[in-house]
């Protein structure tokens, strides 16, 4: 099962996804994929040593060749739909082992880390293209989960990087700016044929029932999980990157609701890879028609 957490900066998205990853890894194998250039997920999952974490952004051509895709520059002829002749990655593939760090049942990979002096000039296009192809070609068993912490805002969604995912969590706060971004994310997901049952809104940093009512009124057609009211203690430890295994006990109950939802979704949703492949095929056809 492939799961993504989407939203923006300071939404506690990485904090939430790291706790979910830790909880699910107690019973299952988890491939944790950090797609945010800030690379905070490894520290959030309490890896003791992240110095040997190697970003795999510079392996673009290797991924393209392995999956029988086109070269990076030949995007016009690229077809994102995997076929039976392609090579696929699984949880124990050598590429995943070589570019991940491990802890118990977790393997964590980081797509890229932009150096500070390049942060405002380096293009993300190749990274998104490669990650889209890479994720499309990951096959997991029933007891294995891919959980991705997406780059902030809407770009990875609008570029259909998540086209092969089963479930998208959108973390939102109860203010008009945040609700606007959430609407943008939902718009792009629906344009890539995600149905509303594959999207779940997580309410975050709400101050009152009025905040919750505002979110529920705005997104009445979606599943909504109330996660975390505004909490000064969480804000402080999150801001200082000081959340550890020893101080999250008070987060367990609210986060368990999300983990339970994941297990329920996985157990009760028909596993039909053709449904996802049809989604990818539609995008391929739209691109080809556009290029004619």
Residue span of the structural domain in which 202 resides: 2-291
**pLDDT of amino acid 238:** 62
How many of the other CB atoms lie within 10 Å of CB of 165? 22
**pLDDT of amino acid 27:** 94
Report the CATH number that the domain containing residue 50 is assigned in CATH.
Answer: 3.40.50.300
**pLDDT of amino acid 246:** 54
Q: Is 10 helix (H, G, I), strand (E, B) or coil?
A: coil
Instruction: Give yes or no for a contact between 4 and 36, defined as CB atoms under 8 angstroms apart.
Output: no
**pLDDT of amino acid 222:** 95
Q: What is the DSSP code (8-state) at residue 117?
A: G
Q: Is 32 helix (H, G, I), strand (E, B) or coil?
A: strand
Pairwise CA distance, residues 161 & 133, whole Å? 8
**pLDDT of amino acid 234:** 66
Nearest by Cα to 112 from 47, 156, 164, 142: 156
Buried b (16+ CB within 10 A) or exposed e, 213-234: ebbbebbeebbbbbbbeeeeeb
Instruction: Give the total number of structural domains in the chain.
Output: 1
**pLDDT of amino acid 52:** 83
Mean pLDDT by 10 residues, the chain (292 residues): 82 79 94 83 77 87 93 91 90 96 94 69 80 95 93 84 94 85 93 93 85 90 85 65 58 83 90 87 91 81
Q: Which segments of the chain does DSSP mark as H helices, in order?
A: 13-24, 41-44, 60-66, 94-98, 125-136, 155-158, 176-191, 209-218, 232-239, 252-268, 273-291
DSSP per-residue letters across 264-282: HHHHHS---HHHHHHHHHH
pTM: 0.91
Quote the crossing angle between the two packed helices 209-218 and 176-191, to the nearest 10°. Answer: 30
**pLDDT of amino acid 276:** 92
Q: Is 162 helix (H, G, I), strand (E, B) or coil?
A: coil
Pairwise CA distance, residues 81 & 280, whole Å? 6
């Amino acid at each position: 099962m492939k799961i993504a957490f989407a939203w923006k900066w300071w939404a506690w998205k990485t904090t939430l996804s790291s706790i979910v990853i830790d909880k699910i890894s107690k019973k299952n194998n988890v491939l944790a994929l950090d797609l945010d250039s800030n690379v905070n997920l490894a520290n959030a999952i309490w890896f003791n040593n992240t110095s040997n974490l190697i970003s795999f952004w510079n392996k673009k051509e290797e991924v393209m060749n392995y999956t029988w895709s086109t070269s990076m520059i030949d995007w016009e002829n690229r077809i994102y739909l995997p076929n039976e002749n392609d090579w696929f990655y699984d949880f124990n593939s050598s590429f995943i082992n070589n570019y991940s760090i491990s802890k118990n049942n977790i393997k964590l990979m980081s797509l890229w880390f932009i150096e500070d002096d390049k942060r405002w000039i380096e293009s993300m296009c190749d990274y998104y293209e490669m990650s889209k192809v890479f994720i499309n070609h990951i096959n997991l068993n029933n007891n294995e989960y891919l959980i991705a912490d997406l780059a902030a805002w809407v770009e990875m969604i609008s570029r259909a990087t998540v086209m092969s995912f089963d479930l998208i969590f959108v973390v939102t706060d109860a203010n008009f700016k945040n609700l606007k971004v959430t609407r943008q994310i939902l718009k792009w997901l629906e344009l890539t044929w995600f149905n509303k049952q594959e999207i779940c809104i997580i309410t975050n940093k709400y101050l009152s029932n009025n905040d919750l009512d505002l979110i529920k009124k705005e997104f009445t057609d979606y599943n909504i999980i109330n996660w975390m009211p505004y909490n000064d203690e969480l804000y402080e430890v999150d801001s200082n990157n000081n959340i550890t295994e020893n101080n999250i006990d008070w987060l367990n109950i609210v986060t368990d609701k999300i983990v339970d939802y994941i297990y329920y979704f996985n157990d009760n949703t028909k596993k039909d890879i053709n449904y996802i492949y049809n989604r990818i095929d539609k995008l391929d056809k739209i691109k080809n028609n556009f290029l004619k």
